[in-house]
Structure 1
Amino acid sequence: MATGALSFEEIAVTRRWLAKRGVEVVTPSRLLAARVGPRLSRAVPGRFRRLAAAAAVGVLLGIAYGFFDFRDGEAPVSVYLCFVGGAVQVALWWSYQRRERELGPLPVMDRRSGRRPTALGILGGWYASSFVITFGGGVALALAVYLSTPAKAKAYGAGWLLALAWTALCCSVILLGTLRRPVHAEDRASMAVDTELRVMDSQAAMPGVYAGVVLNDPLLGDGPPAEFTGWLIAYAVLGVGTTVLGLWQHHRRPALPPGDYATPVGCERLA
């Protein structure tokens, strides 16, 4: 398959994606297929290679973490999972953008015709809350653990702070890149799709995953002192719960508005 040529799968998944949002077409426009296809196709050129490289970066960060002197004993499992998970998330999101560019330049609407939606309008209240809870609440809890007396607790708190810093950076790259990019559209229909793709791309961050990951530590005996176990469970439930509610809120978005998405079903002769 040529680098700049749409694959059959990219066209097919775009047609199915539009159908789920109330738009039935025989063949979607090239612009829509070039945007939706890379996100849903399972066979994007070079994606596996980039994901493997990102996983390797995460592993190397974990190895580098092992050389820090403040650590006492083995690092918690959650730290390694955060290093690898954050790197893979960014690589997956980046593969969408790269494939889009390979398929050709995208039109950009001027600011008068196509304003970017607000951040809260894209994320929704629950999903935005999950970021605050996962990273803000996580930092507060990690500091509380670090400031407790035992040396092991300090090592755990320091490692968790590093993991939160890395995953917050990775999620911020995804969100800022998604929310601040220009509106790639040429009419009302493609502008509506652009908004929906911002919502889809924001889901690549998945902050609550990192709140849930810390539950591995008390289960495996790598966690902080026992008095923090209840706080960790509450933190994980809140982080994961708000993320799930945010995804549910995204799933309930309205159908796409009427517009020219391509050739409507029943009008094949006009194609």
Structure 2
Amino acid sequence: MTAEAEREMGLRWLAKRGRPVAAPTPYLEALLATRNAFAGGLRWLLPLALVTAAVAGVGYHALFGRGMTFSYTVYFFCFGIQLAVWLGIRSRQRQLAKATRPWPGAVREPWTRSLGAWFVASTVLAYGGGAALALAIWFTTPARTYALSWLGLLGLSALCAATVLAGFLRAPVLAEDPASLAVYRAVLAENIHGAAPALAAVPPVLDLVITSHLPAGYRPWLAGYAALVVVTELVAYVRHRRPLPPGDYGVPRPAQTDVD
């Protein structure tokens, strides 16, 4: 993506949040550009992450063999994308932090407000609900390899999501004035969804559409679990879309006039 394309992307982002401008301030332009994880020299991140994830997936299959969940391929694909996007965004954020001076008003929000109750709920449902289902399969059916392989994938997914969340929540706040602080917090709310709980709950749906080792009695439970997590996270995403407060976001658009 070119610098001009990133600028246009930033303008659309501001307009969707009720702050249309003809041109953003230079700092906001740079801040919004950090959303593009694979710019310039970072283009190698995604293919490298996907190749690494594919090799790790082969190793995971060798660990469990026959009887495991087929969703491992989707899980490792998600791991690769999640970590590549996180690394790319954090790299661009560090570049911006080095090029600017810290602003005393750049105060970090409490992590509870940054995450929001709905995102926390979707996370608990994804990992707690998934673990409960896997354990139920372990204790009530012969499909113990399936249950154990799914538990392992949930654990790896939780580790991946925790890495992404910690990286974004502990990063320095990037702002130079109240307007850029509001934009930073809105961008952070978006970045948090890089740890999407749905990516822990949706991959096992693959076992519903192909012949798998998932016990038949648990098919409706798995479908309901995945749907509940997706809906809860969608609500969290919508509620994270905060309107931006008044402030200096750049050069105002020319006033519209009627032409006879």
The answer, yes or no, to whether TM exceeds 0.5 is yes
Contact 1:9/1:37, CA 8 A, preserved across alignment: no
Q: Give the TM-score taking structure 2 as reference length.
A: 0.88
- Give the superposition deviation at 1:115: 2.4
User: How far did residue 242 of structure 1 move?
Assistant: 0.6
2:176 pairs with 1:186:
yes
Are 1:78 and 2:66 counterparts?
no
Provide the residue aligned with 1:147 in structure 2: 139
The whole-number CA distance in structure 1 between the counterparts of 2:42 and 2:68 is 30
Q: Deviations over 1:188-240 (max 9, x none)?
A: 11111111011110122221132122111132121422222222122112111
1:74 to partner: Cα distance: 5.6
Structure 2 residue matching 1:27: 3-state secondary structure = strand
Letter in 2 for 1:161: L
**Deviation of the 1:76 alpha carbon:** 2.3
Aligned to 2:84: 91
CA deviation vs aligned residue, 1:24-72 (integer Å, no higher than 9, x gap): 323212221112123158x71244421111111211111111222xx35
Cα distance between partner residues in 1 of 2:42 and 2:67: 33
Contact 1:10 1:37 in 2 (8 A): yes
> Paired residue for 2:258?
none
What whole-Å deviation, never above 9, does each CA across 1:92-145 have from its counterpart, x for those lacking one?
1221121333455344344xx332122232222222211111111111221222
Q: Give the TM-score, by structure 1 length.
A: 0.85
Give the SS at the match of 2:39. coil
Matched, 1:66 2:54: no
**In structure 2, do the counterparts of structure 1 residues 217 and 106 end up closer, same or farther at CA, with 3 Å as the change threshold?**
farther
* TM-fit CA distance, 1:185: 0.9
Question: Partners in 2 of 1:231 and 1:74 — Cα distance?
Answer: 19
User: Which of 264, 267, 271 is 2:252 aligned to?
Assistant: 264
- 2:165 maps to 1:171: no
Give yes or no for the alignment of 1:15 onto 2:34. no
Task: Determine if the alignment matches structure 1 residue 57 to structure 2 residue 52.
Answer: yes
Does the 8 Å contact 1:109/1:182 carry over to 2? no
Distance 2:62 2:17 in 1: 51
8 A Cα contact 2:46 2:85, kept in partner: yes
Runs of 4 or more above 6 Å deviation: none
Report how far residue 149 of structure 1 moved: 4.5
8 Å CA contact 2:123, 2:197 repeated in 1: yes
Q: Secondary structure at the match of 2:19?
A: coil
Partner in structure 1 of residue 113 of structure 2: 121
Number of matched pairs: 254
How many Å separate the matches in 2 of 1:241 and 1:15?
29
Aligned pair in 2 of structure 1 residues 206, 106: CA closer, same or farther (>3 Å)? farther
Gaps of 5+ in 1: none
Question: How far apart in 2 are the matches of 1:102 and 1:22?
Answer: 28
- Asked if structure 1 preserves the Cα contact closer than 8 Å seen for 2:25 and 2:250, the reply is yes
Cα distance in structure 2, aligned partners of 1:24 and 1:233: 41
Q: CA RMSD in A?
A: 2.3
Q: Distance in 1 between matches of 2:199 and 2:20?
A: 35
CA distance in 2, matches of 1:265, 1:200: 26
